[in-house]
Amino acid sequence: MAKPLEIDDLWKSRIVKSLSGMEYGSVQIIVHEGRIVQIERTERKRFDAVSASRQDVSGRTAGQ
């Protein structure tokens, strides 16, 4: 039978901090034997097609 998950204020704070400022992405909470052991944050950046086409590979705008 699974152990009940207990989340203390420290972990709640860490989860909220991981979500803070994120526009696109995901937060994974890793649980082992009923305890949170790790939080993974993957953030995505989205750019519109117009500004992306104006930049070359080095990140400079065209014409610089």
CA dihedral over 3, 7, 10, 11, signed as positive or negative:
positive
- Buried/exposed code over 17-44 (b: 16+ C-beta within 10 A; e: otherwise): ebeeeeeeeebeeeeeeeebeeeeeeee
Q: What is the pLDDT of residues 10-49, one digit of tens each?
A: 999 999 999 999 999 999 999 988 889 999 999 998 888 8
Residue 64: pLDDT band by 50, 70, 90 thresholds? low
